[in-house]
Amino acid sequence: MKEIAPGFLDVVRARRSIREFLPDPVPEEAIAQLLEAASLAPSSCNRQPWRFVLVRDRAVLERMGAAVKKRFDELRAAIPAGELTEEMEMFRVFFSFFETAPLVVVACYREMPDLLARIVARAAGPAVSTTEKIHPELQSLSLAVMSLVLAATNLGLATSVTTGPLIAKDELKEIVGLSRHWEIATVAPVGFARGAPGERPKRKDLGQIVSFL
């Protein structure tokens, strides 16, 4: 089959979750490509229920990192000594490493009213449900995030997609200036990798994740 971009799968294979970054800034032309890739993702009813806050200001990143570390320490202190405190220390880095990247994408979504569900509920009462919450807006945003991540990888940029920082979600919302209508889904640092990544974490065999009918 003819490929639009020969080597596309090499981009997918090159993507790794990177947690250590050089201080070098992300070039402007790369940022433009990342944003184009995100904005062209499909979304539920083409509502594009997403916002991307791109943070490069070192002082803002430090405030974000400090908020996450403070919350981490509060959670750690809430756990009785000896119970998993060592494990928590091991995981500490996963919560706040994002702040060391030269660019952090704070990816946000906004839930929209489910109009069909509302109409049906108003007419027939809750007995006739449409479907349980399927979070189409969150799904749409995640599609856009992956588009952005692969566009970054294509340009030799390192990324990761992290939810750990959201232990301090309310604080982060305030620092980046989000109104209450928006939720942060993920925090994605972007930059040039410091050093080569280790071995890829093992993937499940396809037999475990795929079935055919």
Interface positions, 131-160, toward a second copy (CB under 8 A): 131-132, 134-136, 138-139, 141-147, 149-151, 153-156, 160
- Of 24, 25, 73, 79, the residue at the interface with a second copy (CB under 8 A) is 79
**SS3 call for 47:** coil
**In terms of CB distance, is 196 or 212 closer to a second copy?**
212
Q: Is 151 exposed, middle or buried (0-12, 13-18, 19+ CB in 10 A)?
A: buried
Applying the rule CB under 8 A, the residues between 96 and 115 that interact with a second copy are none
- What binding mask, one character per residue, do residues 40-69 give for a second copy by CB under 8 A, x or -? xxx-x-x-x-xxxxxxxx--x---------
> How many residues lie near a second copy (CB under 8 A)?
95
Q: How far is 157 from 153, CA to CA, in rounded Å?
A: 5
- Burial of residue 157 (number of CB atoms within 10 Å: 0-12, 13-18, 19+): buried
- Is the Cβ of residue 171 or residue 194 nearer to a second copy in the bound state? 171
- Whose structure tokens read 């920082």? 165
CB 151 within 8 A of CB 33: yes
The nearest distance, CB 195 to a second copy, in angstroms, is: 19
Pick between residue 23 and residue 84 the one whose CB is nearest to a second copy. Answer: 84
Angle at CA of residue 209, ends 204 and 212, nearest 5°: 140
Q: Shortest gap between Cβ of 22 and a second copy (angstroms)?
A: 15
Residue number with CB closer to a second copy (93 or 119): 119
174: contact with a second copy by CB under 8 A = no
Is the separation of the CB atoms in 99 and 58 below 8 Å? no
